[in-house]
Structure 1
Amino acid sequence: MTTPSSAPVAGSLPPAPDAKIAMGWMHTAKFLTTAAQLHHLPPIDVPEIAFVGRSNAGKSTCINTLTQQKQLAFASKKPGRTQHINLFSLGKQGVTDAVLADLPGYGYAAVSRSDKVRWQQVMVNYLVSRPGLTGIVLLCDPRLGLTELDEALLEVVRPRVEEGLKFLIVLTKADKLTRAEQAKVLSITRLQAGGGEVKMFSALKKQGVDEVAQLLWQWAHPVLPATAAPEAAPEPTPETPEDSQPN
């Protein structure tokens, strides 16, 4: 898995798997590595899916709920204190077929301005240049909606999304809203998503968990375009008896 990486080959999404298959796949997640700097991350030659969002948007809870592991993604008691990119491998029978990347939360006032600027630059560099990045999951508290920082992130990744990068906005803590409020925020966020998908999510009520897991499975297992078989060389024309007679 540490061979030199390259951009993933574009492909169409396969049919959504059964929820049990997708959730079983997510449950295979294991800690792979952590890095404080982008150049410390290992090259990855399988699809990589990044989780990003404001501090306290429920990112760690979302990852832990999807993987059915309470402590896989570290949730600091002080939002904004986690300042590493953490990678988790996915795959059954010891064969890694995808990687999740948990990026530090942004926008919280508990860290210094210099740290904010440094980590914002690390995140931007990761999102625009990380080879093998297949999809981005943006976590957002629907009670706040997309903030200026969220919208700035959307602008950063827009060129890659237009080139085929998958994008999903997960509206966490859906249990805090009524059904009418959920419908309203879904409608508004879809207009802001710029072509990405939007899903409601509640770790408490398990709302949207299966659907998000199924979509991530699809991202990690694209149907690659069939390659055309090389044309066979024309068979030589057999000689006729006249051709084989000496002059």
Structure 2
Amino acid sequence: MAGDAEPGSDDAADSAATARLEAGRVLFAQPCAFLRGVADLSGLPPSDLPEIAFCGRSNVGKSSLVNALTGRNTLARTSNTPGRTQEINLFTLGPEAQPRLMLADLPGHGFARAPKAKVDAWTRLVNAYLKGRPPLRRVLLLVDARHGLKGIDRTVMSMLDAAAVNYQVVLTKADKPGMKALADIQAATMAGLARHVAAHPEVMATSARTGAGIPELRAALTDIAAPAPGGGG
């Protein structure tokens, strides 16, 4: 019948999706090591690794998401106190001799329980990093699923647009709102991205607590990683 899917097409799509999820699982099961904390741009190491940055408002869950992706509880330090991350913390993912990704956990934008001068210094550091880091392949802009995009998020998005840095919005704490509220926030966020030229079109929803969305995000980031040793994907 006209319009019917070809036999096996659904199976092929399912197999491809399963393989992509497995590639993400394998990548993020590899060693992940803290490289260094960077308090100013002069401390950033030269690197030819693809780099992914975790950016967002203070206490949005950046460190928790890094831990969830890598399957570790204490790789990145977490706290209920906004402003705990005070440097750009860099991690390498993959074998020590040939890592495949650099992960950058950034200080939060906006409110933090710290002197204003220090918060301003963190914000300048993060903005300078985002605009001028050559290996940076994607910024994950983390947004609390209970609240959606805020003014500070839109400011960062406009800055990334101007710098032509590819970024993707990832909703965190997706277990907190109900299913309808989450769907509404996700739809509103996608609508808000329509005018932003550097934004990735897909908004992903994740929960570090329940693991929801983590396999899918791993798979998406695997597409950015350097090839595996030996030429595998």
Regarding TM over 0.5, the answer is: yes
Question: Are positions 1:54 and 2:57 aligned together?
Answer: yes
CA–CA separation in structure 2 for the residues paired with 1:92 and 1:78 = 33
Partner of 1:240: none
Query: Shift of residue 20 of structure 1?
Result: 2.7
Partner of 1:237: none
CA gap of 1:93–1:86, structure 2 versus 1, over 3 A, is closer
CA–CA separation in structure 2 for the residues paired with 1:175 and 1:131 = 35
CA–CA separation in structure 1 for the residues paired with 2:98 and 2:112 = 40
- Aligned AA (2:118): D
**1:48-82 deviation line (CA, Å, top 9, x unaligned):** 10001111111111110010010011113422132
Partner of 2:205: 200
Q: Return the match for 2:78 from 75, 78, 102.
A: 75
Contact 1:50/1:100, CA 8 A, preserved across alignment: yes
| Unaligned runs of at least 5 residues, structure 1 | 1-14, 223-247
Answer with 1 or 2: which has the greater Rg.
1
| Unaligned runs of at least 5 residues, structure 2 | 1-15, 228-233
SS state at 1:116 partner: helix
CA–CA separation in structure 2 for the residues paired with 1:113 and 1:93 = 38
CA–CA separation in structure 2 for the residues paired with 1:107 and 1:170 = 18
Deviating runs (4+, > 6 A) in structure 1? none
CA–CA separation in structure 2 for the residues paired with 1:102 and 1:174 = 20
C-alpha RMSD of the superposition: 1.8
Q: Number of paired residues?
A: 205
Structure of higher RCO (CA pairs closer than 8 Å, 6+ residues apart)? 1
Query: Shift of residue 166 of structure 1?
Result: 3.1
CA–CA separation in structure 1 for the residues paired with 2:28 and 2:41 = 25
Partner of 1:8: none
| Identical amino acids, percent of aligned pairs | 38
Query: Shift of residue 130 of structure 1?
Result: 0.8
Query: Shift of residue 35 of structure 1?
Result: 1.1
Partner of 2:99: 96
